[in-house]
Amino acid sequence: MDKHAVLLSTGSKKPSFFYGYIVVLAAFFIMVIVSGLLYSFGVFLKPLSAEFGWTRAMTAGAHSMTVFVTGLLYMVTGRLNDRFGPRIVTTACGFFLGLGCLLMSQLSALWQLYLFWGVIVAMGLSGGFVPMTSTVARWFAKRRGLMTGIVGAGVGTGTMIVPPVTSWLISGYGWRTAFIVIGIIALLSLILAAQFLKRDPSRIGQLPYGENEVKPENLISEARGASFREAIHTKQFQMIWAIYFLLGTCVHTIMVHIVPHATDLGISAMIAANILAVVGGLSIVGRVGMGIISDRVGRKLSLVIGFILLVVALLWLPLARELWMLYLFAIIFGFSYGGLITLESPVVAELFGLRAHGVILGALVFGATTGGAIGPILAGHIFDIANSYYLAFMACAGLSITGLIVASLLKPIRRQDLR
């Protein structure tokens, strides 16, 4: 008998408190730490380049490697999360995240930058987005978009808080001390928060929130769902992979290079870091807002809306030469990218079900991180040649237009599409 049927047949009363809200809170906190640390690299870029004489492409390459390795490992942590749950996965990743930051404080050579930040920190980051959003998808059938948006808001919160704090630490105590402080915080915070996570409601005798109230929008049963092998052979998977590859290229290019770009325009480092904070703050609004919108109007229309806003932001950026113009860019860009990221896990759940949700989501996120690995290093190379980010930013605008076209062509999956 299905485990959900067993729970229903017991006749037990509905619990007065749904534990899924604790899971959401813990996942939100984990995303604050993980994402805030990841997007703080742009604040370290100039100090590291200046001290060791590395070009921006060389330094940004470490972030590209981090993003790529994280995406690759998401398929592993997604699979492990499907089998063993998020507590074990995130505890282990918290250890590696803290270790990587502490090792960064002892940095003395370029190969160490790529090993410490590009590999060890990446191992820690892989306990973030995929395990957290996949776990939340198992806890909520109704309000899945909203709850995923709340967890995703941790990315924006982290981006809003951690880079300015890191910039303050660097200016007051140096970049080595900054790495020590954020490393200790990451280590302790992630391990503690992970202890509140549970894989799914059946572990404590509950059912997913609103399971009996929601009819799936697609023609695939969420209870069975598609296997990983079935999913990757569908054109929908390939289209979503392309969509998030393009998005990842744009987002990580901006998040790494927007602070150096602003300082090149004569804006102080502290104020430039606040541009990242605005991006983070508006991404919170975008994640929660788009989560609510997608629950009402559907995931495809929400994808299209998100990409339209992204196109507007990226076409505006090359024209932005003053601080207020950069803040306006940050508002539109933050809302759009935050909303688009939030949609990824619900889209996977609705198209492919929950059977292999973690590993399917991990494979799609790998598409985003592959783009995220390529974008920053190419943008750095373009800057090294042209001494300007104009061409790099225009290229991002072109990629976002392509993403909009692909998103508009996305269609639901039918059972006969699986093989």
Burial of residue 13, with CB atoms counted within 10 A of its CB: 0-12 exposed, 13-18 middle, 19 or more buried:
exposed
Structure confidence at residue 87 as a pLDDT band (50, 70, 90): very high
139 domain-assigned = yes
Tokens 């604790």 locate to 22
Structure confidence at residue 11 as a pLDDT band (50, 70, 90): very low
Nearest to 90 by CA among 219, 186, 207: 186
**Whether the predicted pLDDT of 219 surpasses 50:** no
SS (H, E, C) the chain: CCHHHHHHHCCCCCCCCCCHHHHHHHHHHHHHHHHHHHCCHHHHHHHHHHHHCCCHHHHHHHHHHHHHHHHHHHHHHHHHHHHHCHHHHHHHHHHHHHHHHHHHCCCCCHHHHHHHHHHHHHHHHCCCHHHHHHHHHHHECCCHHHHHHHHHHHHHHHHHHHHHHHHHHHHHHCHHHHHHHHHHHHHHHHHHHHCCCCCCHHHHCCCCECCCCCCCCCCCCCCCCCCHHHHHCCHHHHHHHHHHHHHHHHHHHHHHHHHHHHHHCCCCHHHHHHHHHHHHHHHHHHHHHHHHHHHHHCHHHHHHHHHHHHHHHHHHHHHCCCHHHHHHHHHHHHHHHHHHHHHHHHHHHHHHCCCCHHHHHHHHHHHHHHHHHHHHHHHHHHHHHHCCCHHHHHHHHHHHHHHHHHHHCCCCCCHHHCC
80 domain-assigned = yes
Rounded distance between C-alpha atoms, residue 5 and residue 3, angstroms: 5
Rounded distance between C-alpha atoms, residue 197 and residue 23, angstroms: 5
Rounded distance between C-alpha atoms, residue 348 and residue 371, angstroms: 19
**Whether the predicted pLDDT of 218 surpasses 60:** no
Average model confidence (pLDDT) across the chain: 85
227 domain-assigned = yes
Structure confidence at residue 416 as a pLDDT band (50, 70, 90): low
Domain total for the chain? 1
241 domain-assigned = yes
- Predicted local confidence at residue 412, as pLDDT: 78
- Give the Cα-Cα-Cα angle 410, 143, 157 (nearest 5 degrees): 90
5 domain-assigned = no
Average pLDDT value for residue range 300-317: 94
- Predicted local confidence at residue 58, as pLDDT: 87
Find out whether 257 and 307 touch, Cβ atoms under 8 Å. no
Residue type, 120: I
Find out whether 283 and 155 touch, Cβ atoms under 8 Å. yes
Of the two residues 339 and 8, the one the predictor is more confident about is 339
Q: Which two tokens stand for residue 147?
A: 């709850």
Rounded distance between C-alpha atoms, residue 226 and residue 371, angstroms: 26
Residue 140, strand partner residues = 209
1 domain-assigned = no
- Give the Cα-Cα-Cα angle 386, 388, 391 (nearest 5 degrees): 85
Structure confidence at residue 214 as a pLDDT band (50, 70, 90): low
- Predicted local confidence at residue 247, as pLDDT: 95
- Predicted local confidence at residue 116, as pLDDT: 95
Q: Which of 134-143, 223-232, 322-331 has the lowest mean pLDDT?
A: 223-232
CB atoms within 10 A of CB 111: 9
Give the residue numbers spanning the domain of 71.
19-199+220-413
- Predicted local confidence at residue 67, as pLDDT: 81
- Predicted local confidence at residue 310, as pLDDT: 96
213 domain-assigned = no
Of the two residues 415 and 401, the one the predictor is more confident about is 401
Rounded distance between C-alpha atoms, residue 244 and residue 341, angstroms: 8
Nearest to 320 by CA among 372, 278, 283, 381: 278
Cα separation of the two ends of the chain: 26
Rounded distance between C-alpha atoms, residue 159 and residue 33, angstroms: 9
Q: Which of 165-179, 221-235, 330-344 has the lowest mean pLDDT?
A: 221-235
CATH classification of the domain holding 45: 1.20.1250.20
pTM of the prediction? 0.73
- Predicted local confidence at residue 22, as pLDDT: 93
Structure confidence at residue 15 as a pLDDT band (50, 70, 90): low
- Predicted local confidence at residue 139, as pLDDT: 84
43 domain-assigned = yes
Structure confidence at residue 292 as a pLDDT band (50, 70, 90): confident
- Predicted local confidence at residue 78, as pLDDT: 87
For 47-85, the pLDDT digits (tens) are 998 899 988 778 888 888 888 899 889 889 988 988 888
Average pLDDT value for residue range 3-30: 70
